[in-house]
Structure 1
């Protein structure tokens, strides 16, 4: 487990965006059934990333650590680009290959999050959402929760093909099988979405230890009851652990504060 960054409030957005600030916080917990926490996160502008490692023993921890450290290392300015993110993931893949040298099954990790980036309009700042694996990013706008990312998993492919109902995905025997990861000596390009930075926007980045215990409605209710970023992240993790805590649980919450603009849509 690696935790980079600390809860922060009233951080001004990148130059060119006036009247807006962001708050953020990250929280993680080993859960009730795992001996080790193989989740890692970085929550420090301009990057907010969760990585859920896999590989057994301490290997998953090493893999998730490699992702968040390489992404944090790349975030030298107030914004990041997709090219810089992908280079960070390539470096993490090389780090993971070293860690996996003595393992038979391989080592990998999910990598999911958001980063501040240059918008399409001159001087505009937006969030770029990215995903590799089955950790997720949600957004809340106008009080409604919406999942932004699409899981790279066997059950998601079955849902997309009409072979499985979405509500049955979590109980399927293959619900833990992902189809894309950082590691395993494979260069994986993330999927991307763009979200304009607007006052009132709330973003949640989380590992599947949260979403396997809490439904979308549960997550929406917890977020609605906790307007402060750190309280929201803590309440989500606590609720997931209390609901069963079958896996490591990590949540990073980012809030855009200010008076300009309208809530964002991905």
Structure 2
């Protein structure tokens, strides 16, 4: 387990978003059934990323650590580009290959999150995903899943072979089809979201979504307007609901400042 960054409030967005700032916080828990926490996260502007490692013993921890550290190293400016992210993932893949040299089954990790980006002075978030960790958006009180899982059950849902509500209980619900590692160069899927006041983003591992339904997540987020309290409440609720896996949540809130521009 690696935790990078600390809860922060009122961090101003870059030029192009006057009057906007962001709050954020990340929280993780080993859960009730795992001996080790193989989740890692980085929550420090401009990047907010969750990585859920796999490989057994400490190998998954090493893989998730490689992803968040390499992405954090790439975040040297107020924003990040997709090219910089992909180079960070390639470096992480090389790191993971070294760690996996003595394992038979291979080592990998999900890599999911958001980073501040934007062109022509427009502030926005770029959402990316490899694996089955997720990014959710809350706008006007409604929860929306942004990322699409790279998993066997998601492919079955897309093909009409499985109902979405039955996916989590399917025997293959833990089988993912894409990951960072395994000596494979993976290109993430991307989505772009304009930054505006009132926007809330949640990045989480599947230890959260396997215990809490979308309506549960929406309810907890609605009850907790502060970023750190929201992340803590989500992780606590998932552990109390069963805690079958490691649980990680990173919450990012876009705030509007109280200062108004003077009239011309």
Q: TM-score, normalised by structure 2?
A: 0.97
Q: Which residue of 1 aligns with 2:179?
A: 181
Kept after mapping to 2: 8 A contact 1:52/1:109: yes
- The separation in 2 between residues aligned to 1:240 and 1:261, in whole angstroms, is 38
Kept after mapping to 2: 8 A contact 1:51/1:207: yes
**Deviations, residues 5-34 of structure 1 (Å, cap 9, x unaligned):** 000000000123200000000000000000
Q: 1:67 to 1:256 in 2, by over 3 A?
A: same
**Deviations, residues 221-260 of structure 1 (Å, cap 9, x unaligned):** 0000000000000000000000000000000000000069
Q: 1:265 to 1:232 in 2, by over 3 A?
A: farther
- The separation in 1 between residues aligned to 2:73 and 2:229, in whole angstroms, is 27
Q: 1:90 to 1:197 in 2, by over 3 A?
A: same
* Matched residue SS, 2:100: helix
Kept after mapping to 1: 8 A contact 2:21/2:257: no
Kept after mapping to 1: 8 A contact 2:19/2:260: no
Runs of 4+ in 1 over 3 A off after TM superposition: 259-266
Q: How many aligned residue pairs are there?
A: 264
* Matched residue SS, 2:101: helix
Gaps of at least 5 residues in structure 2 are: none
- The separation in 1 between residues aligned to 2:77 and 2:186, in whole angstroms, is 24
Kept after mapping to 2: 8 A contact 1:154/1:177: yes
Q: 1:108 to 1:124 in 2, by over 3 A?
A: same
Q: C-alpha root-mean-square deviation of aligned residues, in Å? A: 3.6
Q: Which residue of 2 aligns with 1:7?
A: 7
**Deviations, residues 141-184 of structure 1 (Å, cap 9, x unaligned):** 00000000000000000000000000000000000000000000
Q: TM-score, normalised by structure 1?
A: 0.96
